[in-house]
Amino acid sequence: MKKTSTFQLTAWALFTALTAVLAQFSIPIGPVPISLATLAVYLAGGILGAAGGAASQAVYVLLGAVGVPVYAGFSGGAGVLAGPTGGYLVGYVVCAWIVGVLGSRFRRKTVPLVLAMILGTTALYFLGTVWFLFVTKRGLWESLTLCVFPFLPGDAAKIVVSALLALQLGKVFDRMRPGTSAA
């Protein structure tokens, strides 16, 4: 088993914290708030790769689950995770992993990274909406109207911004990574 470096742990913690901070920039529009958290999720996957991106988001979800107020609106606790937004929170882990897998495979090129973020978002929406349907017992159309359609324009903008940032910040992280030579 490969040993995790101090650099990796620090990078994971940085993206966990970034997600917690950006989650607070939220607009409560219904049962699922609009927030900037997904910007951090995309960046985590795009910069840290699959394992690091997923790990940072798993730590974020676990911190919130044990009661640390890191979720949107400074909320936290197992009740939030078990509630209507829980599937979306767990979806952060899957989204970051998908972005990391596909982003790394295509060496951080713009179009593949954007497509990876779109696929990750699709998985996030799927997991979140299925969980929302299960918890709230609402119909599919109503759930999509509450939990997907209002988020599409903002997520599209976050994907463009995240892809551009990940391409630039990824180079910085690569230079900082131990064992690589600074160019």
Residue-wise pLDDT tens digits, 37-69: 999 999 999 999 999 999 999 999 999 999 999
Q: Look at 131 and 170; give whichever has higher pLDDT.
A: 131
Confidence of residue 183 (pLDDT cuts 50, 70, 90): very low
For the chain, give the percent of residues with pLDDT over 70: 97
For the chain, give the percent of residues with pLDDT over 90: 80
For residue range 111-151, list pLDDT tens digits in order: 999 999 999 999 999 999 999 999 999 999 999 999 999 99
Alpha-carbon distance values, 86 to 61, 82, 176 (Å): 9, 5, 34
Other CB atoms within 10 A of residue 173 CB: 17
Confidence of residue 102 (pLDDT cuts 50, 70, 90): very high
Q: Residue 94: which of 71, 119, 113, 112 has the closest Cα? A: 119
Q: Residue 37: which of 155, 122, 130 has the closest Cα? A: 155
CB burial of 124-155 (b: ≥16 within 10 Å; e: otherwise) equals: bbebbbebbbeeeebeeeebbebbbebbeeeb
In three-state secondary structure terms, 34 is strand
Which CATH number applies to 6-169? Answer: 1.10.1760.20
